Structure 1
């Protein structure tokens, strides 16, 4: 069985631009993409904390260290400069891939510069949960 999982998260980014006349996507500072293993043209899920909009589009790299977070094309109607968003990198994985999954959760400051990276171990959390509940 394949499971859809979060393989990386950019937590509380700040939208810097919205360009309605671009053909579509989200432009992200390349350093942010690298920190969460988001590859060019990979599909991502974006949640706007200001209005609750959930959007899926593909990511394209912006200048490294620039802090750019630009919603291009149609999402520019739902994401405005200053909005706080969460970007999730999702993937389908089998059991073996999931057991070795180590997603990064990337925290940023108000300029979208990385302040902290937390690497999670979902397999370890799952085993601890099973041990504490007595379920297998």
Structure 2
């Protein structure tokens, strides 16, 4: 049996942009992506702490160290700049793999989306 387990999380990032005209996805600072072990094109779940919205989309890399968190396309209607979000990715694994697995969790510096050094 396979279980869907939390693989990666960016906890309490601040949305910097919302671009309704883009085809779709979320743009994330590549430094945050790497720290959280999230790959370009990977499916993520986004939870908006301000309004309770939950959505799924795929990731595109943003400029390194820019702090960008931009919801694109239809998702831009659910999340506004300034909202605090949690971005999560999951992986399928066996119960044996899950028993020892530790997710990559990133806590950006509050209000900046920069990594804490």
TM-score (norm 2): 0.94
Write the deviation string for residues 35-61 of structure 1: whole angstroms up to 9, x where unpaired: 111101000000000100000000110
**Deviation at 1:99?**
3.4
Partners of 2:83 and 2:8 in 1: CA distance: 20
Structure with higher RCO (Cα < 8 A, 6+ apart): 2
Are 2:3 and 1:35 equivalent residues in the alignment?
Answer: no
Stretches of structure 2 that go unaligned for 5 or more consecutive residues are: none
Contact 1:18–1:70 (8 Å) recurs in 2:
yes
The RMSD of aligned alpha carbons is 1.1
Partners of 2:97 and 2:65 in 1: CA distance: 31
Q: Write 1 or 2 for the structure with the bigger share of helix.
A: 1
Stretches of structure 1 that go unaligned for 5 or more consecutive residues are: 117-136
Write the deviation string for residues 46-98 of structure 1: whole angstroms up to 9, x where unpaired: 00001000000001100110000000000000111100000011111113432
Partners of 1:29 and 1:93 in 2: CA distance: 27
3-state DSSP of counterpart to 1:115:
coil
TM-score (norm 1): 0.82
Greater C-alpha Rg: 1
Residues 1-20 of structure 1 correspond to what in structure 2 (within 5 A)?
1-20=1-20
3-state DSSP of counterpart to 2:116:
strand
Partners of 2:81 and 2:97 in 1: CA distance: 37
